[in-house]
Structure 1
């Protein structure tokens, strides 16, 4: 009986492992081809990805052990340009978090998007000094939102955060920036005439310790699907709904389960087939 029970447990664990197998998470190499963002931000893949150098002028990559520092060449260029711009404005070292995996595709946990190499999370933790190896591998986040009172945390929210958001939003390569609704409210409270860049600042759940920057599809990437254009206007008039939702949302979170794999666009098939061939050799 004990032997039978052990066998059943083993079979169950094997089935669970099979059910959760995600080939995109197994990729350790890029797909050698001309750069192409294929599909949509939340269902696609990435050919010809480039790895962001783990340190550059004005930035460092955190949690590199996750292998999520890959992107379309246009994203690599944006991050480099953006960090240099911020450095010229006195923000010396931004922390780059999740981008995409070597071949893009779906994450088991966390992100629904970040699949085609055009998304990047940039932490709101401000650091003048470079982090050392141990700190980079296991960094702590800094929230700028007072979730209890639904306002920005005056101890952690700085003028530099507004600068970070504004500089990114004014870049024509940027489609939208996801941020906590409370942060958007703060920006709206400080709004001045001509602040059209606020249109790109999009309120979303979470995002209290990082900004999620999304680029438009690069010119010539015919298999890349842009999102619908953002409605005209600064978007400050939609925040009352968000505040109501945040006020009644419980603070606890359920344990995450691996997300079911989506059927990928057909042009993603070669990326997986070549990966599987490598794994079999």
Structure 2
């Protein structure tokens, strides 16, 4: 209770206690002075001791810097460095453009993602990074490019073998739990994969994800208080991805609407008390 009071909840009563957690975490401009640790789950947690991905590196640029979402667990930043070096070896690529990772202390965001809360999620642009000298202002205006056609059933002409190889390299990193891409990309990768196909299991189809792919790292080894997502289903997942594509091309009939069904309740905003107890200390830390 003393810790919660120190964060401003005691004097304000119930109104302050119900302050959305996204406002508290969104107000923090820097990481906490704590040992690195991810607490909670990807869509309900926070991150202590996050480090900031430098705005520009030898093989990457962080984009949309005004959002201040280029913070993550040290393992996440190390992963980006490693994958961007691999990307820089692909034809037409000098590295990677990195989108959102997490806020300085993770937690719910003011806008956008439900996940990206524990410093272990990374959005990586599909746009080939063909130059790494964009100014801060230019990075607010430049956009990624879409890889899909037919509403995501297929890749378009912008898709290249380099995309396949970069996604494959990411999936083969033991720290990666799963990678989200649009269904047509997964199906194309299934068609093009040769030899050992075990890495395809981590490539998961999901809506959107045609301007960027989303890498999710597993909880770091030995982490306490970090909740992993259940592992992907066994197998390479190619049949499931093909079914996604089939449903895009021939949508199933809509389910009948029950006029007596209760109205769906709007999603409740998380307050600090909804998050793991360690998150209060993450907010309080210098």
> TM-score interval w.r.t. the shorter chain?
0.7 to 0.9
**How does 1:213-228 map onto structure 2 within 5 Å?**
213-228=215-230
Question: Structure 1 stretches (4+) deviating beyond 4 angstroms?
Answer: 18-21
Is contact 2:108–2:114 with CA below 8 Å preserved after alignment? yes
Residues 1:260 and 2:269 are matched in the alignment: yes
Residues 1:139 and 2:139 are matched in the alignment: no
* Alignment partner, residue 107 of structure 2: 105
Is contact 1:52–1:70 with CA below 8 Å preserved after alignment? yes
Is contact 2:21–2:107 with CA below 8 Å preserved after alignment? no
* Alignment partner, residue 155 of structure 2: 152
Task: Return the alpha-carbon distance in structure 2 between the equivalents of residues 169 and 21 of structure 1.
Answer: 31
* Alignment partner, residue 75 of structure 2: 74
Cα RMSD after superposing both structures: 2.4
Is contact 2:36–2:48 with CA below 8 Å preserved after alignment? yes
Task: Return the alpha-carbon distance in structure 2 between the equivalents of residues 126 and 28 of structure 1.
Answer: 29
**How does 1:112-261 map onto structure 2 within 5 Å?**
112-133=114-135, 134-148=137-151, 150-154=153-157, 156-247=158-249, 248=251, 260-261=269-270
Compute the displacement of 1:228 (Å).
Answer: 1.1
Compute the displacement of 1:149 (Å).
Answer: 7.5
**Runs of at least 5 residues in structure 2 that lack an aligned partner in the other structure:** 1-18, 253-265
Judging changes above 3 Å, is the alpha-carbon distance between structure 1 residues 180 and 19 closer, same or farther for their aligned structure 2 residues? same
Judging changes above 3 Å, is the alpha-carbon distance between structure 1 residues 171 and 210 closer, same or farther for their aligned structure 2 residues? same
TM-score normalised by L of structure 1: 0.83
Is contact 1:109–1:259 with CA below 8 Å preserved after alignment? no
**Runs of at least 5 residues in structure 1 that lack an aligned partner in the other structure:** 1-17, 250-256, 276-281
TM-score normalised by L of structure 2: 0.81
Is contact 1:188–1:236 with CA below 8 Å preserved after alignment? yes
